[in-house]
Structures are given as structure tokens and as C-alpha cells.
Amino acid sequence: MAKRIRGSSRPGQRRPTQRLAAPPQRPIRPSTQLTAEEEARAAELEAQIVAEERAAEQATRRGRERARDRDEGVTPVRGRDLPPLAVRASQEYAYVRRDVLRIVRVGGGLLLILAVLYVLIDVTRVITL
């Protein structure tokens, strides 16, 4: 690999000309003073930022309230949208009814097995221990 050197030594290549850019013409004023336009723009931006912060805080607060209500099992419902108490109870406690019936079936089955074993072991003496 060839050794690199500064500048271009290839034929047909020239260095770009060094041009000095003229500084932009701006009025010189102290940085502590603002024009009326700048103050109005700053106030507008500040009001916009404050409004966005308030909206974000309200959204966060609503989210927390919804999460708390969900954790507590509370569903926000309007008064006139509520169905009668019997309808709500039948809808909310349908799973309880299923579970109770399942418990009764399992318990009944176990009692039936115990009764059959009692008859086989103690009454008829088919199974001796």
C-alpha cells in the first residue's frame, strides 16, 4: 500500500480555493435586551408549554384513577345506564354459581365413593383389611 501524503499529488487535481465568508450583517445589541416581538414569542411559547404540561398531568391523573378503579373492581358507570340490581347480580355472580355447583358435584362424588367403600368393607365384607 502506498504511503499517504498531505495534499493532492495526482495530476489534474487542484486544491479548493480558500474563500472567506462575509459575516452576516446584524445589528449589535446587548444579549440581555429582548425586542417586543421576541418577548411576545417567548410568552406564547411559555403559554403553550404550560398548556401541554397541564394536559399531560390531567392524562396521567385520569390514567391513575382508571387503574385504581380497575384494581378495586370499580367500574365507572352513569346512574341511568345501570341495569336493575337483580340483572347485575346474575351477571356478576354467574361464575360463583358455576364454582359452587362444581364443588357440590365433587363433594357428592367423594361422599358416594365413601358410601360404596363402607358397604364393601364393613357391611358385605367383600374387601378385607
Name the average pLDDT for the chain: 82
Q: Are residues 72 and 50 in the same domain?
A: yes
Q: How confident is the model at residue 102 (pLDDT cuts 50, 70, 90)?
A: very high
Distance CA 97, CA 81 (A): 25
Which residues span the domain enclosing 99? 85-129
Q: Is residue 24 part of a domain?
A: no
Q: Are residues 98 and 128 in the same domain?
A: yes
Domain count, the chain: 2
Buried b (16+ CB within 10 A) or exposed e, 79-100: eeeeeeeeeeeeeeeeeeeeee
Which is nearest to 118 in space by CA: 103, 105, 129? 129
- Convert the pLDDT of each residue in 47-57 to its tens digit: 999 999 999 99
Q: Give yes or no for residue 72 having a pLDDT over 90.
A: no
What's the mean pLDDT in 106-121?
96
What's the mean pLDDT in 72-92?
72
Residue 113's pLDDT is: 97
3-state secondary structure at position 36: helix
Q: Is residue 111 part of a domain?
A: yes
Q: Are residues 90 and 129 in the same domain?
A: yes
